[in-house]
Amino acid sequence: MSTADVGLADLMRPARHLFLSPHYDDIPLSAGATVRRLADWGLTPETLVVFGSEPERGQPLSPFAQRMHEVWGLTADQVIASRYAEESAAATVLGAKTRVLPFRDAIYRGHVYLSDDDLFGVPAAAESSLPREIVESLQLGESPDAGTRIYAPLAVGKHVDHQLVHQAAKDLALNGWDVWFYEDIPYALKPQALEDRLAEIVEMPSTGLNPVAAIPADAVWDRKIDAILCYPSQLETVFQQYVGVGTTRREISEALSNYAIDAGDGIVAEKFWRYLKT
């Protein structure tokens, strides 16, 4: 039996599927086909935007946050409402329910992350409690539930928000919860980025990862691309500036499918990882 066959069989076992999205758009980019497959099988996957709450009203934004808004073509008053509208449209395409957890994006958490170097560096020491708070916000209960699977980022690319969500999900995994980790797109599209992240995790004490599934995506690929195109504010940043490709449907699909074929060892797939039990 192939990895894809095993992955599909295992995919369907839980009744509840929670996809942790550090920001608006992360799930369609990284696991959109898997979400759509679950929906096509009659389930209702849930996408939870972790860092999607509004900036604190009355507090001035940092110059870095203001520049980000300019890139997105949105004002401070528009940004969350516009991005939530994009997320809701994408969730509809994928057949998912979506909601936002009570945490703000790194660029809105005071004047802590003031540059790309800060944003893709080490999470601030003052935020060490955030992984625990994220877990608590999920209201999962104290004991692992075999009927629930959680999906979370590997934190490829090292965005601080992705690292914080990864740590929260890792804590759940090491406490017995069923957690699958997805390869963060667009960061994983950079050469060697995934390998570097996996090597870093292996170097951590008492940890390691194994691939758990490669979910075939070809049958729902168009729906994945449809969902990604629901985020017009992000397409230039994600694909043109970061990946170095155009923003047309064909260019986006080609860049992602080339990666997905490698992930699926010759078939278009989304690959997931699981922490080794120690």
Q: How many residues can be counted in the chain? A: 278
- With pLDDT > 90 as the criterion, what percentage of the chain qualifies? 79
pLDDT value for 15: 92
pLDDT of residue 4: 54
- Alpha-carbon distance 45 to 98, whole Å? 9
For residues 265-274, average pLDDT: 95
Determine the residue type at 242.
Y
Q: How far apart are CA 106 and CA 204, in angstroms?
A: 25
Q: Give the amino acid at 231.
A: Y
The pLDDT, as a whole number, for residue 263 is 92
Residue 61, helix vs strand vs coil: coil
The whole-number pLDDT of residue 1 equals 40
Six token digits for residue 10:
């295992």
* Residue 5 reports pLDDT greater than 70: no
Residue 50's domain comprises: 3-275
pLDDT surpasses 70 at 6: no
Provide mean pLDDT across the span 35-54: 96
**End-to-end Cα separation, the chain, in angstroms:** 27
Spatial distance between the Cα atoms of 98 and 94, rounded to a whole number of angstroms: 11
- Mean pLDDT, rounded, of the chain: 92
Number of domains in the chain: 1
Nearest CA-CA partner of 239 in 218, 260, 224, 253: 253
In contact, 174 and 275? CB cutoff 8 Å? yes
Which domain CATH number covers 218?
A: 3.40.50.10320
Q: Is the pLDDT of residue 233 over 70?
A: yes
Phi-psi region of 226 (alpha: psi -120 to 50; beta: other; left: phi over 0): alpha
Task: Name residue 34's amino acid.
Answer: T
Tell me the pTM.
Answer: 0.94
Residue 278 scores a pLDDT above 70: no
Beta-carbon contacts of residue 21 (< 8 Å; ≥ 6 apart): 27, 47, 48, 49, 50
pLDDT, tens digit (0-9, with 9 covering 90-100), for 108-151: 998 899 999 999 999 999 999 999 999 999 999 889 998 999 99
Confidence of residue 168 (pLDDT cuts 50, 70, 90): very high
